[in-house]
Amino acid sequence: MDQNTAGRQAGRLKQEQYLSNFSDARPPLSRAQALVEAERCYYCFDAPCITACPTGIDVPSFIQRIAQDNVRGAAEAILSANPLGGMCARVCPTEVLCEQSCVRNGCEEKPVEIGLLQRYATDAFFANADAKPLFSRAAGSGKTVAVVGAGPAGLAAAHGLARLGHAVTMFDANAKLGGLNEYGLATYKTPGGFAQQEVDWLLAIGGITVKAEQKLGRDFDLAQLTAEFDAVFLGLGLAGVNALQVATPACEGLRPAVDFIKELRQSDPMDVKVGRQVVVIGGGMTAVDAAVQCKLLGAREVTMVYRRGADALSASPYEQDWAQKHGVLLRCWAAPLEVLSEGGQVSGVRFAVTAQQGDQVGETGEQFSLNADMVLMAIGQRFEADLPAIDLQGGRIATEADGRIPGHPKLWAGGDCRYGGRDLTVEAVEHGKQAALSIDAFLRS
Q: So what's the pLDDT on residue 385?
A: 85
Strand partners, 364: none
Residue 30 pLDDT exceeds 90: yes
Give the chain's end-to-end CA distance (angstroms, integer).
68
Residue 4 pLDDT exceeds 80: no
Say if domain 144-239+383-444 classifies as CATH 3.50.50.60: yes
Q: Helix (H, G, I), strand (E, B), or coil: what is residue 152?
A: helix
Share of the chain above pLDDT 70, in %: 98
CA 130 from centroid of its chain's CA atoms = 27
Mean pLDDT for all residues in the chain: 94
Are 314 and 93 spatial neighbours (Cβ–Cβ below 8 Å)?
no
pLDDT confidence tier of residue 42, bands split at 50, 70 and 90: very high
Residue 237 pLDDT exceeds 50: yes
CB atoms within 10 A of CB 209: 13
Are 210 and 154 spatial neighbours (Cβ–Cβ below 8 Å)?
no
Share of the chain above pLDDT 90, in %: 87
Return the CATH fold of 31-127. Answer: Fumarate Reductase Iron-sulfur Protein; Chain B, domain 2 (1.10.1060)
Residue 391 pLDDT exceeds 60: yes
pLDDT single digits (tens) 190-205 = 998 999 999 999 999 9
Question: Cα separation of 22 and 174, whole Å?
Answer: 24
CB atoms within 10 A of CB 167: 18
- Per CATH, 31-127 and 144-239+383-444 having the same topology is answered no
- CATH for 242-380 is 3.50.50.60
Q: What angle separates helix 31-38 from helix 114-127, to the nearest 10 degrees?
A: 140
Are 333 and 353 spatial neighbours (Cβ–Cβ below 8 Å)?
yes
Are 183 and 262 spatial neighbours (Cβ–Cβ below 8 Å)?
yes
Per-residue DSSP letter, 46: T
Number of residues that make up the chain: 445
Q: What are phi and psi of 437, to 5 degrees?
A: -65, -40
Give me the residue spans of the domains in the chain: 31-127, 144-239+383-444, 242-380
Q: Which helix (H) or strand (E) holds 114?
A: helix 114-127
pLDDT single digits (tens) 54-74 = 999 999 999 999 999 999 999
Q: Helix (H, G, I), strand (E, B), or coil: what is residue 215?
A: coil
Q: So what's the pLDDT on residue 1?
A: 39
Residue 393 pLDDT exceeds 50: yes
pTM score of the predicted model: 0.94
